Amino acid sequence: MHVVVCVKQIPDPAIPGELDPSTHALKREGKLILDESDSYGVEMALQLVDKAGGGEVTLVSMAPNNEVSGLRTALAMGAAKAILVSDPALAGSDALSTAKVLAKAIERAGDVDLVLAATESTDGYTGTTPPQIAELLGWPSLTFAKHVEIGDGKATIQRQTEAGYDVVEASLPAVISVTAGVVEPRYPSFKGIMAAKNKPVDEVTAADLGLAADSVGWAGSRQQITQVAAAPAREAGEKIEDDGEAFQRVVAFLEELKVV
């Protein structure tokens, strides 16, 4: 079984983000790491390939610079290879342009049975890319999966709903978006980290994928940021140290609000 996982390399979320003053886009020039949301898809792909008794996991990713450190993390977990679409023309790409690029990269990966992705990225969180990729490929999409089974040429998932979950089935190939916490992502072993250094990363440009420069990046986004402003700040209130009796202050606060 050949599983492709869409992964994003993002600025470390622990470091406060910043907008570029001229383009208003999120600054992404520092070191990029593997989005933690994507580690669940990578882990699930590795487990599904194991269960199927053979096959491999290919990563696809997009970055405006030749950043690979996040990809190396996923390769160290056990993915076999990666396709990195790296092109200055991709800067400013919105979710639809990203989906167009990733769909082309998936076609480049050859015969693919299944594509996994996170439900949304941690930095941009538009949350539409997986079904957009599926629509571009003409494939079914099973979204918000909290459990995935593959067998008989079909994928069966438990799909998160407002009320609980649905069991949903589709034939392969298909795109599945997985929610966080569905599997426990493995830590790369030392051996895995060493092996990852020599795993193939196929670096391509938008043009290599047959995409016109005006269909992606800033040119393709057809929207403009008109204003950036600071939100009204919320003021901190009373702060107390627990001396064993702080719960009484909480009870009093609940009484003031008339909720008890």
Least distance CB 158 / other proteins (angstroms): 8
Burial of 140 (0-12, 13-18, 19+ CB in 10 A): middle
Q: What is the DSSP string of 123-160?
A: SS----HHHHHHHHHT--EEEEEEEEEEETTEEEEEEE
- Report how many residues bind other proteins under the rule CB under 8 A: 86
Would you mind telling me the total number of residues written for the chain in this entry? 260
In which element (H, E) is residue 2 found? strand 2-6
Least distance CB 201 / other proteins (angstroms): 27
Residue ranges in 11-30 that form contacts with other proteins under rule CB under 8 A: 13, 16-17, 19, 24
Among 65-73, 75-83, 128-136, 187-195, the segment contacting other proteins (CB under 8 A): 128-136
Q: How far apart, in Å, do the first and last CA atoms of the chain sit?
A: 57
Binding mask of the shown chain, residues 166 to 195, with x at each position contacting other proteins by CB under 8 A: xxxxxx--x----xxxx-x-----------
| DSSP reduced 3-state for 102 | helix
Interatomic CA distance for residues 124 and 138, integer angstroms? 25
Least distance CB 71 / other proteins (angstroms): 21
Choose among 122, 90, 54, 146: nearest CA to 157: 146
The answer to whether residue 231 forms part of the interface with other proteins (CB under 8 A) is: yes
Distance, C-alpha 259 to centroid of its chain = 40
Tell me whether residue 56 or residue 135 sits nearer to other proteins (CB atom). Answer: 135
Least distance CB 7 / other proteins (angstroms): 16
The answer to whether residue 138 forms part of the interface with other proteins (CB under 8 A) is: yes
Tell me whether residue 33 or residue 80 sits nearer to other proteins (CB atom). Answer: 33
Residue ranges in 94-123 that form contacts with other proteins under rule CB under 8 A: 94-96, 99, 119-120, 122
The answer to whether residue 130 forms part of the interface with other proteins (CB under 8 A) is: yes
Interface residue with other proteins among 55, 80, 81, 160 (CB under 8 A) is 160
Q: Which residue has the tokens 């008339």?
A: 258
82 in Cβ contact with 76 (< 8 Å): no
Tell me whether residue 182 or residue 193 sits nearer to other proteins (CB atom). Answer: 182
Among 64-72, 105-113, 191-199, 219-227, the segment contacting other proteins (CB under 8 A): 219-227
